[in-house]
Structure 1
Amino acid sequence: MGKIIAIANQKGGVGKTTTSVNLAASLGVLEKKVLLIDADPQANASSGLGLDVETVEFGTYQVLEHTIDAKDAIVKTTSPNVDIIPAHIDLVAIEIELVDKQNREYMLKKSIEQIKDDYDYILIDCAPSLGLITLNSLVASDSVIIPIQCEYFALEGLGKLLNTIKSVQNIHNSNLDIEGLLLTMFDSRLRLSNQVVDEVRKHFSSMVFDTIIRRNTRLGEAPSYGESIIAYDATSKGAINYLNLAQELLKKNL
């Protein structure tokens, strides 16, 4: 049975989509069957894997609306063993449309029930908010990876996210685990980066992944070519970091 992992943080620019795309690609290269669900209206995970989001006919919006089956929204990517349910800007509207629906927090969970056995891992790239789409993602997931950038306001808002996770555990999904906190955008030359690492490790010790994602130019370039870092430059620091993360995740889930 596939493990469903949400990649979430309501702060923008912390490396959620970069992590979703490149962790999916790394797990695929390690011969795991992966589905990436783009649950962010900005649709960066979809374009980051080479899809033209303007031409997306079916995606996360229709899956959440239950107007089509999840399996009919799945698109193959050029990344080995990686499929995607893409997003489109119309996903923005779902927050309003679901508001007065019954069991609105369970829409995604219900939709992906039928496909979760087809994959080893299902990764959900969440929007930078704690709205209804992110709530649906957390309710549908077995665990959550929280990217934290090694910069000044790193821990700001983390308490709020942890409280949201706690209330999801209490009310909707008692099985939701924290898979781990992932330190991103690390620059070893900056004292601040090192301080953030020490701080996060001091407060959250065993919850923090050993793998740290370093700042890497190639990592920033890859999405503009519609490729994961593995396809774009497999020898780069970014590719090595994400392959290490994938291996660490697999070891954790043996």
Structure 2
Amino acid sequence: MDIISFINYKGGVGKTTLTANVASELAFRDKRVLVVDLDPQTNLTLSFIDIEKWRELDTNGKTIKHWYDEFLDADLDESLKDLIIIPDKVNNKISNMGASGCVHLISSHLELINLDMELATRYGGNSERTIRSSFLRLFSRLKKGLEEVEDDYDLVLIDCPPNFNIVTQNAIIASDMYVVPAKADFLSTLGIDQLVRHIDALKEKYNTYVEQDDSNRWATIDPKLSGVVFTMITVYNQDPIQAQNAYMHQVRRAGYTVFENFIRNNSTMFANPPEYGVPVVLKDVDGLYLDIRREIEYVIDELVQKTGI
């Protein structure tokens, strides 16, 4: 089971839209996909289910926020499997198209944003050993949870919030790879260096603690950057306009893998779809909409090639 996080410190770069479309397209290609929404905005969740279904999950304590609450309140090990739901619309569409894959969902929560400070209280101790133990238990929470479903899915996609809080670090520690969606502008590319440095520092700290621990409960990690996917590109004569092209080349010169395929600005019309449930990559479209769908498919083709998923 491969685990990929989608992350950028800058919001509004098409991260959630890309995650939803990758999940749906790979399910159409017969993959069993689990999507985990860790962004408090819950946009990925509401791409697949309606608000009434989300309220039902909230009432029944079946969101990722409630799962972390259980950890805080009673240090319980409630199974992550109990949170998984099957969104009807996208799975019916996949089935009707003759595919055998699926998209399952773990929902986010608007109050997830307030959780970080509470989780931080679990990180500490009065000796090096207790500090190390509490760090590994806290930051491995999602990794351990996903190990419960590794026989059930081919792929897990995690939609991260635009920060590097404890929940985001849980996602990175759980991941084999991460993808950075970005607009080709100053603010969206500025944080890529910092993000990569933060992930490398987290990996080094986590692995040091794992190597110092004598319980054999933990394993070292090595999350790798699969590449930067540029979105919302303005095209002139089939190429990105000069201003955006300069930022794309700047990221390449910095040594990062940049996807050859990109998604044009027209795709932003799908960032907040009026009808939930079925991402554009699975919709029956023509004209401009078909061009947009093809662009997303090309990006997914390249993702499959780069990651081997």
Deviates more, 1:188-197 or 1:158-167: 188-197
SS of match in other structure, 2:182: strand
Q: Give yes or no for contact 1:60–1:86 (8 Å, CA) kept in 2.
A: yes
Cα deviations across residues 80-137 of structure 1 (Å, max 9, x unaligned)?
3111101111222321221122232111111111012211110000001111111111
If each structure's strand is expressed as a fraction of its own residues, which one has the higher value?
A: 1
Partners of 1:251 and 1:231 lie apart in 2 by 20
Offset of 1:219 from its aligned partner? Answer: 4.2
User: Which residue type is aligned with residue 262 of structure 2?
Assistant: I
Q: 1:63 aligns with which of 63, 67, 82?
A: 67
Q: Give yes or no for contact 1:48–1:224 (8 Å, CA) kept in 2.
A: no
Partners of 1:16 and 1:63 lie apart in 2 by 24
Q: Give yes or no for contact 1:39–1:133 (8 Å, CA) kept in 2.
A: yes
Which blocks of at least 5 consecutive residues in structure 2 are unaligned?
A: 95-101, 123-133, 207-219
User: Which residue type is aligned with residue 57 of structure 2?
Assistant: V
**Structure 2 match to 1:96:** 117
Going from structure 1 to structure 2, the CA distance change for 1:64 and 1:234 (only over 3 Å counts) comes to farther
Which blocks of at least 5 consecutive residues in structure 1 are unaligned?
A: none
Q: Give yes or no for contact 1:184–1:213 (8 Å, CA) kept in 2.
A: yes
**Structure 2 match to 1:24:** 23
Partners of 1:71 and 1:50 lie apart in 2 by 18
Q: Give yes or no for contact 1:54–1:88 (8 Å, CA) kept in 2.
A: no
Partners of 2:169 and 2:302 lie apart in 1 by 26
TM-score in terms of structure 2 length: 0.75
**Structure 1 match to 2:226:** 179
SS of match in other structure, 2:221: coil
Q: 1:241 aligns with which of 295, 300, 304?
A: 295
Q: 2:264 aligns with which of 202, 207, 214?
A: 214
**Structure 1 match to 2:55:** 54
**Structure 1 match to 2:177:** 143
Identity of aligned residues (%): 27
Going from structure 1 to structure 2, the CA distance change for 1:221 and 1:162 (only over 3 Å counts) comes to closer
Q: Give yes or no for contact 1:187–1:214 (8 Å, CA) kept in 2.
A: yes
Offset of 1:141 from its aligned partner? Answer: 0.6
SS of match in other structure, 1:63: helix
Partners of 2:272 and 2:65 lie apart in 1 by 26
Partners of 2:68 and 2:182 lie apart in 1 by 28
Q: Give yes or no for contact 2:14–2:271 (8 Å, CA) kept in 1.
A: no
Partners of 1:181 and 1:217 lie apart in 2 by 17
Q: Does 1:85 align with 2:106?
A: yes
After superposition, the CA RMSD in angstroms is 2.0
**1:36-55 mapped onto 2 (5 Å cutoff):** 36-52=35-51, 53-55=54-56
User: Which residue type is aligned with residue 84 of structure 1?
Assistant: L
TM-score in terms of structure 1 length: 0.90
Deviates more, 1:195-204 or 1:27-36: 195-204
Going from structure 1 to structure 2, the CA distance change for 1:243 and 1:162 (only over 3 Å counts) comes to same
- Number of residue pairs the alignment of both structures matches: 252
Q: Give yes or no for contact 1:60–1:73 (8 Å, CA) kept in 2.
A: yes
**1:99-178 mapped onto 2 (5 Å cutoff):** 99-101=120-122, 102=134, 103-172=137-206, 173-178=220-225
